[in-house]
Structure 1
Amino acid sequence: MNRTIRNTIIILTIFSLLISGIVLDDEIRSFYQIEEGPIDGVLLSIYFLFMHALLIGVVIYSMIQLLARKIRGYLFPIAVCLIHTVIVITLRIKLNIRESSPVVFQAHYDGDINGITLYLRQNKTYKLSDYAVFGETNNYGEYRMSGDTILLSEKHPLGEDRVIMGNKLLVDNTFVLIKQDSKGNFKTDQPFKLRIVTQKRKF
């Protein structure tokens, strides 16, 4: 193997690792939080297709060189792309399984220009939709119940910059109280509370 071919294989492998790392980082992040604006879905699809087109190009070129030159080093970038594909498919399957679980509890706050909706699923996962006029952020995690208290897995369910909600919620008749005071108590007159819309389980 001459130096040029070796350098080409190294560049292809590093390039495929870089692209794969960027895409997988976004995929893993979106497993827990998805931000959506008016055109975010279109831009995300274009980005996803472009990045994977680059990886497909690496695979095609490496396959051609592998068959033509019989140099096994071209298997390295191909292996990176195959592993990447398996991981992405696994994440998408897990996402579909999570989202296909029935919603057993739903509560909603509707402001003038914003709102929050909490979904609890049968598989012990939750979804928090935090939306305003120009977009929506969906946050995901797991939950567990303790009497009439809902405990969310994330310390800041709406993100660190959204402190109106804690990870300990209280079901109070037809509402869900979402923020404790400095003494750890819930107040029924708090400005932000979620009205229960769907309740297929008892508290």
Structure 2
Amino acid sequence: MKKYWVKERNQIIGLLVLIGLGSFLTYQWAQLKYSTFMLKTILLNALALVGIGFWIWSTIKGLSNYKRTRLKSHLIAPFIGLFFILLIVGINESIEAEFDKPTLIRAYYDGDYNGVHIDFKTDGTYIVDAHAIGLSEFKYGEYKQDGNRMILNGEEKDRSLESDLLEIRDIAEGEGDQLEGAYIFQIDSKGEELDQAIRFRIVEDNRK
């Protein structure tokens, strides 16, 4: 009887470890939609490999015990582990799908040690990627296009965006200290550029 209770206790402990690890990885993976850090990503992938290894071990052991005892409780851990794996894969696919949407306009600001990308998608959404060495933070929103103007939805934006109104304008050679080309300007309701606001240089333009 004592041996039986020890096995039951170990099974419960293993199940709790699997649930705890799966929940932690699922939450951390979901946060990758909003920020990534190189070291954190490496650690998460390493921890995911440990989790998969633990799941494989618990699955082999659970199936072996099930064949011997025919108790369905031994199949709980394998199915819970599979659930978390599929959930994390689904979250990862969802995040990648956001970034893989076709780009309408992509603009960039280079701040030496940091920078900001704005990726306006063809479906009316945009992604702001504010990055420094090894670190990226992402903000998401929607916009409407009116000619050369983009009207942002006014929801949470990166701190580099001071206005909901953006306009594409050309900078000629020799005009100011910026390279010649098309830029996204931040403007007010009168069409005037905001004082000292960041200009984003357009690096991809798929408008027809």
Q: Does TM, scored on the shorter chain, surpass 0.5?
A: yes
AA at the equivalent of 1:64: S
Alignment partner of 1:20 is 2:28: no
Alignment partner of 1:54 is 2:54: yes
Alignment partner of 1:175 is 2:183: yes
Q: After superposing the two structures, state which structure 1 stretch, 192-201 or 109-118, moved more.
A: 192-201
Q: Name 1:121's counterpart in structure 2.
A: 121
Q: 1:10 to 1:43 in 2, by over 3 A?
A: closer
Alignment partner of 1:200 is 2:206: yes
1:84: Cα distance to partner?
A: 0.9
Deviation per CA, 1:99-135: give whole Å up to 9, x if none: 3322111111112322111112234443323223x32
Q: 1:187 to 1:11 in 2, by over 3 A?
A: same
Answer whether contact 2:167 2:187 (CA < 8 A) is retained.
no
Q: 1:153 to 1:191 in 2, by over 3 A?
A: closer
Q: 1:167 to 1:190 in 2, by over 3 A?
A: closer
Deviation per CA, 1:59-97: give whole Å up to 9, x if none: 222222222222211122122112112212222332343
The percent identity for this pair of structures is 18
Q: Look up the SS of the partner of 2:32 in the other structure.
A: helix
Greater Rg over alpha carbons, structure: 2
Q: CA RMSD in A?
A: 3.1
Answer whether contact 1:143 1:152 (CA < 8 A) is retained.
yes
Which stretches of structure 1, 4 residues or longer, exceed 6 Å deviation after superposition?
183-186
Q: Look up the SS of the partner of 2:135 in the other structure.
A: strand
Give me the TM-score of the superposition, normalised by structure 1: 0.76
Q: Distance in 2 between matches of 1:169 and 1:33?
A: 25
1:172: Cα distance to partner?
A: 4.1
Q: Distance in 2 between matches of 1:199 and 1:150?
A: 17
Answer whether contact 2:127 2:139 (CA < 8 A) is retained.
yes
Q: 1:186 to 1:11 in 2, by over 3 A?
A: farther
Answer whether contact 1:58 1:77 (CA < 8 A) is retained.
yes
Q: Name 2:178's counterpart in structure 1.
A: none
Q: 1:4 to 1:192 in 2, by over 3 A?
A: same
Q: Name 1:74's counterpart in structure 2.
A: 74
Q: Name 1:164's counterpart in structure 2.
A: 160
1:138: Cα distance to partner?
A: 4.2
Q: Distance in 1 between matches of 2:163 and 2:23?
A: 31
Q: Name 1:141's counterpart in structure 2.
A: 140
Q: 1:19 to 1:193 in 2, by over 3 A?
A: same
Aligned residues: 192
Q: 1:31 to 1:67 in 2, by over 3 A?
A: farther
Q: Name 1:32's counterpart in structure 2.
A: 34
Answer whether contact 1:105 1:198 (CA < 8 A) is retained.
yes
Structure 1: state its 5+ residue gaps.
Answer: none
Answer whether contact 2:162 2:197 (CA < 8 A) is retained.
no
Q: Distance in 2 between matches of 1:184 and 1:21?
A: 50
1:143: Cα distance to partner?
A: 1.8
Structure 2: state its 5+ residue gaps.
Answer: 170-181
1:25: Cα distance to partner?
A: 0.4
